[in-house]
């Protein structure tokens, strides 16, 4: 993914493209587009289902069944305000789906043994058990999982960009200064020693990469919005920062 210009324009985003494919009534294209979203966002939804009280296997069944529901029922054909933000759409429709399943008392065993995306259940439970033990609400946990996904995607995009420029070793040494979860343990002196640079040179590199990271992060957020504006991106960035503090 190319890095954005200083004045980025967003004529079409990843979420906008998915909506267009789904509303074009092309079943194969819709399944592929939704499968890509499922691979990215299944864990926040799985964690939400676990936090509201469902067992490991029930949460997996609900998550997998939800993705099949998206493909088969295609609720994206109806334009409404929920479609503006990918995370809002996913959580809102997932809550409705869970409510429908519970109301009908219908066990959804992995969507009738179908799979849209392979869920890494062991990894999911390991991640879930490391979530905050205090009584964080399911919605807050979903927001935090979403924020971490966007953050990791932005870091991976920047990592690939720096690797293409032959700066992989430099990026890996500086990456902890970009990650909110690792910044506290990062040391400019240690990084300078490992890289064979002065502390000032490391600080300048950190500053450069933080600017690039902010641009990439904004582009990642824009990709989850339908026809985003700078104001909407700022609002989502504020929501992301709040979620990471939760």
Looking at residue 75, what DSSP letter applies? G
CB 153 within 8 A of CB 221: no
pLDDT for residue 7 is more than 50: no
* Cα angle 223-228-229, degrees, rounded to a multiple of 5: 135
Radius of gyration in angstroms for the set of CA atoms belonging to the chain, rounded to a whole number: 20
Domain-by-domain residue ranges, the chain?
A: 13-131, 137-246
* Phi-psi region at 74: left, alpha or beta (left = phi > 0; alpha = psi -120 to 50): left
pLDDT for residue 209 is more than 90: yes
pLDDT digits (tens, 9 = 90+) for 74-114: 777 665 656 778 888 889 989 999 998 887 654 444 454 45
Mean pLDDT (the chain) is 80
User: Distance between CA atoms of 66 and 42, rounded to whole angstroms?
Assistant: 10
Integer CA distances (angstroms), 88 to 31, 78, 140, 239, in order: 20, 15, 13, 12
pTM over 0.85: no
- Burial of 189 (C-beta count, 10 Å sphere; 0-12/13-18/19+): exposed
**pLDDT at position 67, please?**
86
pLDDT digits (tens, 9 = 90+) for 130-171: 666 566 789 998 998 889 888 988 999 999 999 999 999 999
14 or 157, which is more confident?
157
Percent of the chain with pLDDT over 70: 76
Residue 182 token pair: 């690792």
Q: How confident is the model at residue 5 (pLDDT cuts 50, 70, 90)?
A: very low
Averaging pLDDT over each range in 17-21, 38-42, 109-113, 239-243, which range is the top one? Answer: 239-243
pLDDT for residue 202 is more than 60: yes
Q: Positive or negative, the Cα torsion across 230, 234, 240, 244?
A: positive
User: Distance between CA atoms of 196 and 201, rounded to whole angstroms?
Assistant: 10
Residue 190 token pair: 């240690």
pLDDT digits (tens, 9 = 90+) for 29-67: 777 777 778 888 888 999 999 999 999 889 988 998 898
How far separated are the first and last CA of the chain, in Å rounded?
30
């Amino acid at each position: 993914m190319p890095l954005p210009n200083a004045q980025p324009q967003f004529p079409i985003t990843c979420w906008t493209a998915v909506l267009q494919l789904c509303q074009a009534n092309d079943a194969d294209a819709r399944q592929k587009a939704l499968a890509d979203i499922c691979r990215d966002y299944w864990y926040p939804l799985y964690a939400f289902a676990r936090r509201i009280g469902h067992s490991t296997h029930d949460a997996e069944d609900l998550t997998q069944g939800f993705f099949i529901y998206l493909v088969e029922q295609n609720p994206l054909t109806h334009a409404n305000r929920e479609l503006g933000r990918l995370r809002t759409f996913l959580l809102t429709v997932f809550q409705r789906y869970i409510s429908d399943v519970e109301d009908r008392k219908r066990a959804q065993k992995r969507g009738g043994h179908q799979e849209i995306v392979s869920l890494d259940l062991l990894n999911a439970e390991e991640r879930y058990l490391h979530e905050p033990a205090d009584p964080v609400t399911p919605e807050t946990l979903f927001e935090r999982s979403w924020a971490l996904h966007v953050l990791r995607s932005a870091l991976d995009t920047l990592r690939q960009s720096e690797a293409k420029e032959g700066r992989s070793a430099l990026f890996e040494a500086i990456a902890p200064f970009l990650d909110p979860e690792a910044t506290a343990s990062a040391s400019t002196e240690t990084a300078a020693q490992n890289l064979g640079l002065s502390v000032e040179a490391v600080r300048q590199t950190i500053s450069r990469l933080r600017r690039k990271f902010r641009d990439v992060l904004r582009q990642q957020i824009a990709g989850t919005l339908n026809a985003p504006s700078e104001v909407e991106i700022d609002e989502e960035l504020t929501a992301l920062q709040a979620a990471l503090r939760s």
